[in-house]
Structure 1
Amino acid sequence: MTGLSTAAIYVIQTLGSLYLLIVLLRFILQLVRADFYNPLSQFIVRATKPLLNPLRKVIPGFAGLDVASLVLAILIQLLLMIVTLILMGYGVGGYLLQLLVWALIAVTSLFIKVFFFAMIISVILSWVAPNSYNPGAQLVNQICEPLLAPFRKLLPNLGGLDISPIFAFIALRLIDMLVIGNLAVMTGMPKILSPFM
């Protein structure tokens, strides 16, 4: 593999992964019922509209979920993997089913990491800018709330100290290590195929 193909892989994975994150955020924002009128939500909607609208004509929503955006995220991840393997000099002809499984694993891993890092941002914001009306802060809190709510119901009230993020961090990390990590190892998924693993 030449330096040029290594650079091409880096650029394609970086830009592709950024767009993949935006598409997955579109699914997550609808999943958590985030504010559609938030400027960041509007940016995500506009950025995903060109690819998502044609796909929605073929794939309808299900139970209030935007299935088309999830399918688009998986297709983008699959395409990134195929392009990466081709640039590395490998053929992908007989491996499409395995690549699809790897794409599912990678998108699931990214899904968990979005919540993980959203909680880190939320915890930091609660220290430095509590009750902020910044659109980014509001969106992060809206993403975290459905994940934290079950832990808040189970944990006792500690008088203003919210320890639910600690337990949510542990749960997400265990799912990532025990389920996603083991699935990646069992299927032989190379780390280079997903920067989020």
Structure 2
Amino acid sequence: MTSPIQYLLVTIFDLYVMVIIFRFLLQLFRADFYNPLSQFIVKATNPLLVPMRKVLPGVGGLDIASLVFAYLVVLLKLLVLYALSNVGISVAQILVIGMADLLSQVVSLLFWLVLVRAIVSWINPGLNNPFILVIFQVTEPIMAPVRRLIPPMGGLDLSPIILILGLQFLLVAIQSWIFTPLLQMM
């Protein structure tokens, strides 16, 4: 049973992990870092991420420090939650559950970004809003391959729908193939 405090902690940790993942995606897809949304994300993550970068430099254009930082925040969340619930768990289980949790949060963030992009493109396809521009810059690299497989039909782009279904499938797969067996072992 989840207490209100546990719910609040999970929400705070998960939102911060999403901000860290968003920063990783901004760098990965070379989105505009001078955008107001990008600047917020940079300012929210810099205090703890800059020191980590001194220890973990980027490799091949990938910001490894962001991924490790997000993983550490997920592990901290799990440790706090298991301590609050007085549940015994091994270090190996926490590490695997943490990796699955991080992976599910990446997929979940991509799902929400694609969903926002789809809704905005159906309502107002203009890119006048700086927040929407960044969302388009982050989602385009994952939507373009789907669009090549299924080109727009009669002016209707089905790639967001296909991508949303695929991302939802991944979330269910992560939960049923990783989370459920691990939680049953406890």
TM-score normalised by L of structure 1: 0.86
**Letter paired with 1:125:** V
Contact map agreement 2:152 2:158 (CA 8 A) in 1:
no
Task: Tell me which residue corresponds to 2:109.
Answer: 114
Matched, 1:33 2:19: no
Consecutive unaligned residues of structure 1, counting only runs of 5 or more, are 191-197
1:148-163 → structure 2 map (5 Å cutoff): 148-163=143-158
C-alpha distance in structure 1 between counterparts of 2:152 and 2:87, whole Å: 56
Contact map agreement 1:38 1:139 (CA 8 A) in 2:
yes
Count of residues paired in the alignment: 185
Task: Tell me which residue corresponds to 1:83.
Answer: 80
Following TM superposition, by how much is the alpha carbon of 1:91 offset from its aligned partner in structure 2, in angstroms?
A: 4.5
Match of 1:187 among 159, 182, 185: 182
C-alpha distance in structure 1 between counterparts of 2:123 and 2:116, whole Å: 10
Matched, 1:135 2:130: yes
Task: Tell me which residue corresponds to 1:12.
Answer: 9
Residues 23-43 of structure 1, C-alpha deviations (whole Å, 9 max, x = no match): 111111112221111110011
Stretches of 4+ aligned residues off by more than 4 angstroms = none
Residues 36-64 of structure 1, C-alpha deviations (whole Å, 9 max, x = no match): 11110011011100110111111111110
C-alpha distance in structure 1 between counterparts of 2:67 and 2:154, whole Å: 39
C-alpha distance in structure 1 between counterparts of 2:70 and 2:175, whole Å: 17
Consecutive unaligned residues of structure 2, counting only runs of 5 or more, are none
Contact map agreement 1:108 1:180 (CA 8 A) in 2:
no
Following TM superposition, by how much is the alpha carbon of 1:189 offset from its aligned partner in structure 2, in angstroms?
A: 7.1
Contact map agreement 2:150 2:159 (CA 8 A) in 1:
yes
TM-score normalised by L of structure 2: 0.91
RMSD of aligned residue pairs (Cα, Å): 2.0
Identity percentage of aligned residues: 41
**Letter paired with 2:150:** L
Contact map agreement 1:102 1:189 (CA 8 A) in 2:
no
Structure 2 SS opposite 1:61: coil
Residues 67-119 of structure 1, C-alpha deviations (whole Å, 9 max, x = no match): 10110101001001101111112345xx1221011111011001011111111
Contact map agreement 2:53 2:65 (CA 8 A) in 1:
yes
Match of 1:54 among 40, 51, 55: 51
